Structure 1
């Protein structure tokens, strides 16, 4: 009976392959023989004790650590054998070709995924996405970050809506990576109205994803909550249509009002006047997400080591967001050496040099002088890694 049951489960898995693109490779036959024998042995051991050894299974078969397995095993306590989890794993690994590390991610994120019905649920969702035009590679990239959505019948309609709104699969994936529930929210109840309101505020929907770690959640917030956040952003003096409006919205939507007030007071306390503190927030709202230690460290370095005036920093608050150790200090030291050697021509704005991409900074201030100053490249690299050198 047990072997027959496992063969039936694996047969359903094989039949579900017909829903995948023709390019999908057939699972190796030996895999199923090995899976069948190992599953039978595991099930036999489990039946002798009258329960499914979930923790052991999660560790040995799914790649979880002992700590992770203990944390999520309760979700599988109702199982009496590994038959269904084995069928799910066979489908993920052999039919879809999902790497072991991603399988582990799926189980850690949603352990009940192992209880899904392969034929009646997972295979149907995969077939839906294939019909939408997604390749098997795209499906396997999406699933580890949104496993719960693959048991939701609205996955196809939700994904179709967001593909149209965001313009590409990669944008949708970016949204899902920072918001695992992105594809499970009812777009008719939330998504459409939220998108319409954000457009009314003058925002480009495709720019919202990637603005910060939580910005994709704006797209699935209830409109009434979005309206409250917009009001808070406008109270800071950041108007709709301004470049910083979206950044302010993305930050304040997930930051309590009390914390925002404390951060503004902190800026005022760190030598800035009240007006200057508000100016900094309007110019760069993400400053409100920085810690007190970070703000103090940057202000001290910029005023004492670099010698900048506070008014200079107020006009260029982006300087407060950079790492002193990995960016500001190494670049300051290198420019100082070049000036002392008389190699720099003309005045170099500190903010301009600090805000350049690393590639551009190297091309402009490091590589042109590496022959005149042997070891310059290595010394600069060492500084960025936090290693002391004599040259810089």
Structure 2
């Protein structure tokens, strides 16, 4: 690879008529040349005014930049990112996540990364999209090696960017100890990374291989076929959670009367319900069994019930039906799952709007309950 000095003009003030790509390295380095401000330098204030950080984030970030005595290096980095096409909001996100990004040497570090990624076939627009998600990884010399590994695995920059958006840790993952073993596990289970969105496999790929294997064993015990879509969903669910956390949630369900078979039945249909916090899981199950009066077997065959919001869906809709029943306006029983699964528009059309004339304030009361507020008084 040519030395950086050979890739740019000897003068940083090259004329505008020079032929160049969309963003030449020369222009990036030239833009990064900024005068030192003569004003006293307060890092926190500067992060707010020049970088667009909120006061709270600026205060937190400034603790890692207390050694800076002038804004010259910050200005150079900001100019470099701006010339590359990184937006102000994206720049602020990068700095908030990795304040030391502002300490990077533009020519020896950041511009060098641009050259390396350009050599891999990425254009400057793609690099600008990558930086806000790569963040600290962009400063590391291993970035080009990792990208050269992942690009053919995902099949396109677009799919790789999807994965990095969800989990930027992919770009810093240990290829030999983590990435490659996990890819081998996925292939053994019949899962091809190219065939599924990067958002699906991104976290699985950076999880400890031992944990991924444990998840596969657990899913096999559930009886979920490896070639099914549910297997992929289950793997994504269980691979990113420690087994002790899952066991604790299962223990909480058993305290509420669930058997091992009940847990397996629900997990097989919708493994994601075990990703809920233990507190939320317990609260929803208690509400469905105690307040609504549902049998555990009914819930395990419809585990999505447990995943609905208690405050914004389960409680408001159950309370509204109680109001209708108390007024004698519902002569037939409505299956609870069908009622809860309705879209909001359909629920309003069926259970709210037809009764507003008979029960003044019904719509307002329901809206208040959905907003988590005490319901307004309903008059007969």
Q: What TM-score, normalized to structure 1?
A: 0.72
Partner of 1:151: 139
Give yes or no for contact 2:51–2:92 (8 Å, CA) kept in 1: yes
Call closer, same or farther: CA 1:370–1:231 in 2, change over 3 Å. closer
Deviation at 1:323, TM superposition (A): 0.9
Partner of 1:132: 121
SS where residue 241 of structure 2 aligns?
Answer: coil
1:195 aligns with 2:196: no
User: 5 Å matches for 1:229-248?
Assistant: 229-235=215-221, 238=224, 240-248=226-234
Query: Gapped runs of 5+ residues in structure 1?
Result: 1-7, 47-52
Distance in 2 between the 1:230 and 1:331 partners? Answer: 38
1:327 counterpart (265, 288, 313): 313
Deviation at 1:311, TM superposition (A): 1.4
SS where residue 181 of structure 1 aligns?
Answer: helix
Alignment deviations for residues 103-154 of structure 1 (CA, whole Å, 9 cap, x no partner): 2221222122112232343234345556735562x54443222122322345
Give yes or no for contact 1:366–1:376 (8 Å, CA) kept in 2: no
Call closer, same or farther: CA 1:328–1:72 in 2, change over 3 Å. same
Distance in 2 between the 1:80 and 1:133 partners? Answer: 35
Deviation at 1:272, TM superposition (A): 1.8
Call closer, same or farther: CA 1:193–1:276 in 2, change over 3 Å. closer
Partner of 1:261: 247
Give yes or no for contact 2:266–2:301 (8 Å, CA) kept in 1: yes
1:297 counterpart (283, 287, 291): 283
Aligned residues: 360
Partner of 1:364: 346
User: 5 Å matches for 1:1-392?
Assistant: 11=12, 21=22, 36=35, 39-42=36-39, 45=40, 54-55=43-44, 57-64=46-53, 68-69=57-58, 71-73=60-62, 75-76=64-65, 79-93=68-82, 95-126=83-114, 129=117, 132=121, 134=123, 136=125, 138-156=126-144, 158-159=146-147, 161-166=149-154, 169=157, 171-185=159-173, 187=175, 190-205=178-193, 207=196, 209-211=198-200, 216-221=202-207, 223-235=209-221, 238=224, 240-333=226-319, 349-356=335-342, 361-367=343-349, 372-374=354-356, 380-387=366-373, 388-390=375-377
Query: Gapped runs of 5+ residues in structure 2?
Result: 1-8
Moved more, 226-235 or 109-118: 226-235
SS where residue 172 of structure 2 aligns?
Answer: coil
Deviation at 1:235, TM superposition (A): 4.5
Give yes or no for contact 2:204–2:240 (8 Å, CA) kept in 1: no
Give yes or no for contact 2:273–2:307 (8 Å, CA) kept in 1: yes
Give yes or no for contact 2:163–2:197 (8 Å, CA) kept in 1: no
Give yes or no for contact 2:364–2:376 (8 Å, CA) kept in 1: no
Partner of 1:50: none
Deviation at 1:260, TM superposition (A): 2.4
Alignment deviations for residues 11-63 of structure 1 (CA, whole Å, 9 cap, x no partner): 48999x9876269xx99x9x999x63xx3314xx57xxxxxx64554455334
Distance in 1 between the 2:59 and 2:237 partners? Answer: 35
Deviation at 1:263, TM superposition (A): 1.7
Distance in 2 between the 1:74 and 1:105 partners? Answer: 17
Distance in 2 between the 1:310 and 1:177 partners? Answer: 38
Q: In proportion to residue count, which structure has more helix?
A: 1
Distance in 2 between the 1:151 and 1:80 partners? Answer: 22
Moved more, 331-340 or 116-125: 331-340
Considering only aligned residues, what root-mean-square deviation do their CA atoms show, in Å? 4.4
Call closer, same or farther: CA 1:220–1:161 in 2, change over 3 Å. same
Call closer, same or farther: CA 1:19–1:276 in 2, change over 3 Å. farther
Deviation at 1:326, TM superposition (A): 0.8
Give yes or no for contact 1:125–1:151 (8 Å, CA) kept in 2: yes
Q: What TM-score, normalized to structure 2?
A: 0.74
SS where residue 40 of structure 1 aligns?
Answer: coil
Distance in 1 between the 2:32 and 2:262 partners? Answer: 68
Give yes or no for contact 2:85–2:128 (8 Å, CA) kept in 1: yes
Give yes or no for contact 1:295–1:320 (8 Å, CA) kept in 2: yes
Partner of 1:3: none
